Each structure stands twice: as C-alpha cells, then as structure tokens.
Structure 1
Amino acid sequence: MKVTIFANGSAKSQRVVTELHQKLVAAGFDIDNQHPDIVLSVGGDGTLLSAFHHYSQMVDQVRFVGVHTGHLGFYTDWRDYEIDQLVDGLLRDNGQSVTYPLLSVEVTYADGGTDAYLALNESTLKKLGSTMVVDVYIQDELFERFRGDGLCISTPTGSTAYNKSVGGAVIHPRLDALQMAEIASINNRVFRTLGSPVIVAPYEKITVRPQQQGNFLFTADQLDTQPRPIEKICYSIANRRIAFAQHRHNRFWKRVGTSFIGLDE
C-alpha cells in the first residue's frame, strides 16, 4: 500500500508527522506523494479540505484518513496520541471505504468564459458592496428571486460547516442531496423569499442567475476567486465522490452532539 502524509504547519502537527512517518516506514508502507492509495491528513478539517483539493484530480483512486491535532473534527477520525492504533488499522486494511457526495459547480461569466469546480463542503455567492439580486432555478424552473447578502450551496458533509452558521439544516453525509441556505435575505411586504433552507434531490440541479451588473464574490470551499461579472452558476451532485477508509468513519450524530451540544466523546 502506498501512503502519503498531508499536514498543516503547526508544531504539534509536525511532531505527529515525524512520528507517523517513522512508524509507517518501519511497518513496511511505501511513502508516495504522487500516486498514493491513502492520504493521511494531519491537522483539522481545514487541512483535510486542503488535502482533498490537492488530490482532487485523482479523488476516484485515493482514500482519505484524518488525524486531528486540535479540536474534534467531522473529517478527522484519529487523535494525535493514537498513531500506533492507526498504523495497525492500516496494516489490517481490507480496502473498504465510505463515500460521500461532492458538489459540482459550473460558472459561466458575462464575457463568455467558464470555470468548473469541485467542492467538498460548499460554494457561496455574494455581491460586493450592495444587495445581491439573483433568480434561483431548480431543474430549470424559476423558484424565487432572492434579495439579500448571498447564498450558500452545500453538500451533506458541508452541512455542519458554514451552512449551519447561516441557519441551514444538518444532513447526514450518507444522503445524496444539495442544500441551499439564504444569507440574510430581505423579506418584507414587497420582496419575498422562501426564507428557509432548501434541500433538493440528487438528480436536481440549482441554477443561480444574477439580475444586476457588477462583480460577485464566489467561493468553492477554501478557494476565493477574483471578482468577475457572472452570467450564471449551476450546482449539482458531482459524478465523483470522496472516499474515507472505513476504519472508524462513522458515528456522525455523536460527532454533531460533541461538537455543537457539548456531549462527551
């Protein structure tokens, strides 16, 4: 089995990397940063997001394992003091995995240019300096004209991230669904939106068409793009999925309780 270690720059993470590297080599694993079978992320959820984007072009060929060196994360299964158990789990690995949906984002710009992105958590759209006005389509049918600060389109795994902070629902990551959450929508006697998160089926797409001139701030996970006039953005479930080695990757609702309610691990 070929493995690689992807870590953040904190002193604690780097100490774990040194220990993990030594024990992986001693156990007979091949360290391969170019074509790994398993990517070991050491840090937190942000580090795993970075690891995912670093290896996104080969996401169908790799599995991820997260080691957290800070607070409990949703993508990180192992603690920094469990390196021996992790290496033993890798030695007994039988290739099983659990997979989660990814977000496909296709952006068409006003000048005719296009970009495509793959997101693990979410994509957001906001207007710079003024209220954002966009028409929202679900399966090519007009759903609403949104006025407000912005929109957040998230995956189930991303539902506990920025989506939750703007009032979105928490969705179990084994469900193939997209969620659209409004960011500070304007609702009064003149302007109305649904005012609630919208969860759509895996075969449905969400299309957002801006109704005013100007530059928009678009993000896909940690990627911020340069402001640029946008004609439309199409969101859908990607035909590719992220895979986690199924040594421990379960107990989703336990993670939710621990992270947000304060339940003991």
Structure 2
Amino acid sequence: MRIAIFSNNGKSSNVVATKLKQGILKARNLQLDGLNPELVISIGGDGTLLSAFHHYNDSIDEIRFIGIHTGHLGFYTDWRDNEVDHLVHSLQRDNGQSVSYPLLSLKINYSDGGGSDKLLALNESVLKRVSSTMVTDIYINHQFIEKFRGDGLCTSTPTGSTAYNKSIGGAILDPSLNAIQVSEMASINNRVFRTLGSPMIISPEQTVTIIPKDHYHNVLTCDQMMVHDRPIRSIEYQISNHRIYFARYRHIHFWERVSNSFIGLDNN
C-alpha cells in the first residue's frame, strides 16, 4: 500500500512523522509515496487534515485519509501521537475498510469575464463583508427565497456543521444525511428588512445560488482557503458527487465524536 505523510511544522508533529516513516519503511507491504498515494496520513490537527484534503483533492476518489492529532483533540483525527506503533500494525492488516462523508461543491461565477471556478469543501464555505452590510439574493433551484442583509452566509457539510457553522448558531447534522446547511451570520431583521433568521437544510437534489448585490469587496472562503480577490457574480452550492473516505480501523460513531469534542468524556 502506497502511503503519503502530510504533517504540519510543529515539533511534536515532526517527531511523530519521523517515527511513522521509520515504521512504514520497516514494514514489508507498505511504501512511502507522496505523489500517488492510496492512503494519506495527516499529522497535526483538523487544520492539517483540511490542508491534506485540498492538496490531494484532484484524486479524492482514490485516496483514504487517516488523522493523527498532536495537540488538542481533533474532530477528524482518530489516533493520538503516542499510538504510532499501533497504527503501523493496523496499516499492515488493512483490508480497505473505510467510512465516507459528504463534500460541498462550489461553482464561483465571476463578472470580470474570467469565467468560473469549481472547488470542493470538506467543512464549509463562507461569503461575508467586513466593512459594510452584505446584501445578497438567495435562490434554491432558481426559486427566490430571500434578500439577505447582514454580515454573511455560511454553507456547510454535515461534518462541517460542527465547525464554524456551530459557532454561529447552526444545527449539527448527522453525516448520514446527504445534505448541506446554509446559516445566516448576524442578519438584519426589523420592520423594513426580513430574513428567515434560521438555518436552511438543503437536499442533494437542490442547488443554492447566492447572488451578491455588490460583486466587489466580498470575502469568500473554501475551508481555510481564501478565494482570490475577484468580482463575484454568483456562487452555486450543492452536495458534491465526490466524497471523502477515511480508513477506519476502529470506528468512532459521529455522535460520540460530537460528545467527546464539545461536552467531554465525563458527562456526569
């Protein structure tokens, strides 16, 4: 099995990466291959895994991921930094087992004659303004829903619903629901301007289109990446036909992850 190691630059992560490389090199059926891997091991935290996902997303359908966390508990990371030997043993006994999660598809249309870009997000995409109120029209399958006024909009995947989406009051979605969520950020609601004021859960058959009134001066993110400063005519969101796959040698249920991450192991 061909394995790539994707690590952040932290001291503890480098120690784990070195030990992991040594273990893989000693194993008969494992080899290091950063260019054409079948499995990518991320060492760091959820941010490192997001970077690994975007680094390899051109071949996302052929790759499984594993996360090792070397700091605070990560939502996507199953292994601790002191379990390298156990992980290598599991790699040697790999039989292709995996669990998959939905991804978010973005199509960004520009108004400067530059066409469009297509991106994938594991967690979320955010459109916002910093210096003034953002005004956008929201459509679902070409049906006008509302004219949003506020700080911004966050569109997330089910696993991404536990990240930025949760911090702005969005719901947590079980990843068995093949859906995306659109949550408002500080919407303006008074007797003149109205929005739904609550998150919207969108089915995989539907497309959410966001059309900003001002094509300029917006900030658009795709996970931790910022889209280059270009005039945005519209953004189309929907569930992607692609999914991310994790090699799961020990399965941790999604809601157990939620409980451990936000409440703690001891709920008494």
Superposition TM-score, scaled by structure 2 size: 0.96
The answer to whether structure 1 residue 48 and structure 2 residue 49 are counterparts is yes
User: C-alpha offsets along residues 174-203 of structure 1, whole Å, 9 cap, x if unaligned?
Assistant: 221000010110011111111111111111
Structure 2 residue aligned with 1:14: 14
Question: Aligned ranges for residues 177-188 of structure 1 at < 5 Å?
Answer: 177-188=179-190
Which one-letter code corresponds to 2:142 in the other structure? D
The answer to whether structure 1 residue 66 and structure 2 residue 64 are counterparts is no
Which one-letter code corresponds to 1:72 in the other structure? L
Q: Give, in whole Å, the separation in 2 of the partners of 1:51 and 1:170.
A: 24
1:256 to partner: Cα distance: 1.1
What SS does structure 1 have at the residue aligned with 2:12? helix
Structure 2 residue aligned with 1:116: 118
Tell me, yes or no, if the aligned pair for 2:208 and 2:238 is still in contact at 8 Å. yes
* Aligned with 1:126 (options 128, 152, 155): 128
Runs (5+) with no aligned partner, structure 2: none
Q: Give, in whole Å, the separation in 2 of the partners of 1:157 and 1:211.
A: 30
Structure 2 residue aligned with 1:3: 3
1:157 to partner: Cα distance: 1.1
1:90 to partner: Cα distance: 1.0
Structure 2 residue aligned with 1:214: 216
CA gap of 1:44–1:218, structure 2 versus 1, over 3 A, is: same
Tell me, yes or no, if the aligned pair for 2:215 and 2:233 is still in contact at 8 Å. no
Q: Give, in whole Å, the separation in 2 of the partners of 1:177 and 1:15.
A: 39
1:163 to partner: Cα distance: 0.6
Question: Aligned ranges for residues 80-119 of structure 1 at < 5 Å?
Answer: 80-113=81-114, 114-119=116-121
1:253 to partner: Cα distance: 1.2
Q: Give, in whole Å, the separation in 1 of the partners of 2:27 and 2:266.
A: 33
User: C-alpha offsets along residues 30-86 of structure 1, whole Å, 9 cap, x if unaligned?
Assistant: 100000110001110000000000000010111000011111111100111111111
Structure 2 residue aligned with 1:202: 204
CA gap of 1:62–1:95, structure 2 versus 1, over 3 A, is: same
Structure 2 residue aligned with 1:258: 260
1:112 to partner: Cα distance: 3.0
- Shift >6 Å, 4+ stretches: none
Q: Which deviates further from its counterpart, 64-73 or 109-118?
A: 109-118
Tell me, yes or no, if the aligned pair for 1:215 and 1:230 is still in contact at 8 Å. no
Which one-letter code corresponds to 1:199 in the other structure? I
Runs (5+) with no aligned partner, structure 1: none
Structure 2 residue aligned with 1:161: 163
Q: Give, in whole Å, the separation in 2 of the partners of 1:176 and 1:155.
A: 9
Q: Give, in whole Å, the separation in 2 of the partners of 1:249 and 1:208.
A: 37
Tell me, yes or no, if the aligned pair for 2:111 and 2:215 is still in contact at 8 Å. no
1:213 to partner: Cα distance: 4.9
Q: Give, in whole Å, the separation in 2 of the partners of 1:178 and 1:77.
A: 24
What SS does structure 2 have at the residue aligned with 1:59? helix
Q: Give, in whole Å, the separation in 2 of the partners of 1:142 and 1:70.
A: 45
Structure 1 residue aligned with 2:227: 225
The answer to whether structure 1 residue 141 and structure 2 residue 143 are counterparts is yes
What SS does structure 2 have at the residue aligned with 1:250? coil
Which one-letter code corresponds to 1:6 in the other structure? F
What SS does structure 1 have at the residue aligned with 2:144? strand
Which one-letter code corresponds to 2:209 in the other structure? T
